[in-house]
Amino acid sequence: MSLPVIKPQNLSEKQTEMMRLIAEIMEIRKRGEQPLAYIRTYGCQQNVADSEKIKGMLEVSGFSFTDTPDDADFILFNTCAVREHAEDRVFGNVGALKNLKRRHPQILIALCGCMMEQKHIADRIYSSFPFVGLVFGTHSLHHFPELLYRALVDGRRVFERGNDDQMLYEGFPVHRDGAFKGWLPIMYGCNNFCTYCIVPYVRGRERSREKDVILKEARQMIESGCKDITLLGQNVNSYGKTLETPLSFARLLQEIDEIGGDYWLRFMTSHPKDCSKELIDTIACGTHISKHLHLPFQSGSDRILKAMNRHYDRKKYLETIAYAKEKIEGLSLTSDIIVGFPGETYEDFKETLSLIREVEFTSLFTFIFSPRKGTPAEKFDDPVSAEEKGKWFQELLEVQEEIAAKRCASMVGQQERVLIEGVKEKTGELNARTSGNIIVELQGDRSLVGSFQNVKITKARNWILKGELI
């Protein structure tokens, strides 16, 4: 099924002009000293990728970056709305900025991202946090320079929530945080409306970037030394449906795989309802594609999957997993799970436990259901107490720990290619990751950070492996 075609638009000349004007103003205000921005990102990699665009625009506007809020001229929190806990953290940390603003009244404090697309949140910020001078949502990224300019010059508070959720913008300058690990968005938004999820409301409708733009960016990343590229989308399997010439995700993956060079290619997230055999075959045959599939199943109970509006059942999910295990040698599987969805009984929960025992995931991202304002599940009857849900959650963690430990133990003695990602401050050991996304710690020189190495796995401690260089 294809969707209405969405043609991209470029960042306008007006925004470029605004960035030039901001640079001029800040040069005068700072008397030639470079202005500094402090950016803090909450939530998923989509937000990380958005922050890299915001940083790109700030860089063109003359800013450099600091890790110390006290040194900053501009502070921005890019927020996440996916669970209540995520929102509470933001409110707590914004509240803590009140004193900083008192000490440095010239600082501009701003909030953006998914939380800010919700009217009740923006209203609360407006009334309870008067020291916040700029607020904008995910649909306003393409005129961030203009908003920043207004907030800097007018001296009035600027609040903007967009409704441009069917538009797609290109041509952003991007400041990539990682030297050898990079995020590459291939699509934005989501059309799935899982009943618990706020994402479609704060990120808008699904829209895919054009293949040539993605390939160009991937090439640039590889040429500049990126070793680990993650393609991003809320449901990458649905890629290509808003393009003039629709294209499957598997085809896109093949084309990026064919660029050539020394890199790993990953993607997030796949929705089980459209995880095709074509995609699994592509992973199996790929040269650079990680043997890793993150396939969130959320619940093992068909009754709950239906209430979640997930459009697959346990049987279909397990068939997909069986096909993937058969085709992809050394496959590592990960997933997301929600515990305590409204109406879930202990019997339903036991189906989730039996599914994780059957599949044997490498690792899991587990969440207790959090009601989100405006989603259907917010209104569902939810008779199970928080305490009871907490017990189920604990039980899930224990079962998964046992599975992960067993899986990791089975890798001892094997040889693995890993990407060295950093140095552990406490022990001085190197931190690395396998293609299947499993952490390996080993002794070695810090000059190896950013390179691929072959290691022998010597020990397993729960879900972390110990290894040595070969």
Q: Which residues bind ligand F3S (CB under 6 A)?
A: 43-44, 46-47, 80-82, 114, 198-199, 202-203
Structure tokens at 317: 């999910």
Identity of residue 50: D
Strands 9-10 and 169-170: parallel
Judged by CB under 6 A, which stretch of 189-197, 213-221, 254-262, 326-334 contacts ligand SF4? Answer: 189-197
CB-count burial class (<10 Å; 0-12, 13-18, 19+) for 462: exposed
Binding mask 349-368 for ligand SAH (x = CB under 6 A): ------------------x-
Burial readout 318-353 (b: 16 or more C-beta within 10 A, e: otherwise): bebbebbeeebeebbbbbebbbbbbebeeebbebbb
147 close to 134: Cβ distance less than 8 angstroms: yes
Q: Which does 193 bind (CB under 5 to 8 A by kind): ligand F3S, ligand SAH, ligand SF4, none?
A: ligand SF4
CB-wise, 61 or 118, nearer to ligand SF4?
A: 118
Q: Backbone dihedral region of 65: left (phi > 0), alpha (psi from -120 to 50 degrees) or beta?
A: beta
Contacts of residue 91, defined as CB under 8 A and 6 or more positions apart, other chains included, come to none
- Of the pair 114, 432, the CB lying nearest ligand SAH is at 114
Mask 224-253, x = binds ligand SAH (CB under 6 A)?
----------xx------------------
Alpha carbon distance 467, 115 (integer Å):
41
Q: Between residues 162 and 343, which has the closer beta carbon with respect to ligand F3S?
A: 162
- What residues have CB less than 8 Å from 76, skipping those under 6 apart? 37, 38, 39, 40, 54, 110, 111, 112
Binding positions for ligand SF4, 234-263, rule CB under 6 A: 234-235
Q: Which stretch binds ligand SF4 (CB under 6 A): 114-122, 185-193, 382-390, 461-469?
A: 185-193
- Residue whose CB is less far from ligand SAH, 310 or 433: 310
CB of 194 to ligand SF4, least distance (A): 3
Closer of 82 and 359 to ligand F3S (Cβ): 82
- From ligand SF4, ligand SAH, ligand F3S, none, interface partner of 370 (C-beta below 5 to 8 A by class): ligand SAH
Distance CA 185, CA 233 (A): 6
Counting contacts by CB under 6 A, is residue 193 touching ligand SF4?
yes
3-state secondary structure of 49: helix
Shortest spacing between CB 439 and ligand F3S, in angstroms: 22
Q: Which chain residues interact with ligand SAH by CB under 6 A?
A: 82-83, 196-197, 199, 234-235, 269, 271, 296, 298, 336, 338, 367, 369-370, 372
Q: Which chain residues interact with ligand SF4 by CB under 6 A?
A: 190, 192-194, 197, 199-200, 234-235, 271
